Structure 1
Amino acid sequence: MAEEIQKKLQKELEIYNGLQKEYVKAAALKQQLDSQLSENKAVKEELILLKNDSEVYKLIGPVLVKQDLEEAKQNLCFFYFLLTFQRAV
């Protein structure tokens, strides 16, 4: 009987450890998403301050590429939506 209890306890401990690992991964992902959302929000606020004829550049790898302001705003809104959706799931 003691051996049976020990096996059951070992199995429960394995389940607990697995859940704990999943929690750590989820917490890290949430922190990453929160950070990206915060950065995205700051960029959005900066884009709002720009005039329509302002030049905007997007960093692609090591290169800055000129981007249309409206396109940048649309991309940012879409990315913000995706981040918000991922965070909610």
Structure 2
Amino acid sequence: MSLDTRLEAATSEYQRLQKELSDAIEARQRLDSQLQENEVVQKEFKLLKDDANIFKLIGPVLVKQDKSEATTNVNKRLDYIRSEM
């Protein structure tokens, strides 16, 4: 194999690895952002009374949700995000 061919192969591999790293960093940042958002929601839920009205946005509609159900969903989401990280 000539030097040019090896150099092209090494360059291609380097570019592929750079793209892979960039994708991983982007995914990590997205997960970190989601984690922070959900942690804020979790803290806010702790401040609410048990009979507080909580609404979940589903498409263009706000749907009423029980506090316990909403808290469980946020906790599960946090567990999932942490496991992905």
| Counterpart for residue 22 of structure 1 | 20
- Stretches of structure 2 that go unaligned for 5 or more consecutive residues are none
Q: How does 1:45-64 map to 2 (within 5 A)?
A: 45-64=43-62
TM-score (norm 2): 0.97
Which residue identity is paired with 2:8?
Q
Q: CA RMSD in A?
A: 0.9
Aligned-residue offset at 1:21: 0.5
Aligned-residue offset at 1:9: 1.0
Show CA shifts across 1:10-52 (max 9, x none).
1011000000001111111111000000000000000000001
Q: Which runs of at least 4 in structure 1 moved beyond 3 Å after TM superposition?
A: none
Aligned-residue offset at 1:5: 1.1
Which residue identity is paired with 2:13?
I
The share of aligned pairs that are identical, in percent, is: 41
Number of residue pairs aligned between Structure 1 and Structure 2:
85
In 1, Cα distance between the equivalents of 2:38 and 2:51?
22
Which residue identity is paired with 2:6?
K
Aligned-residue offset at 1:77: 0.3
| Counterpart for residue 77 of structure 1 | 75
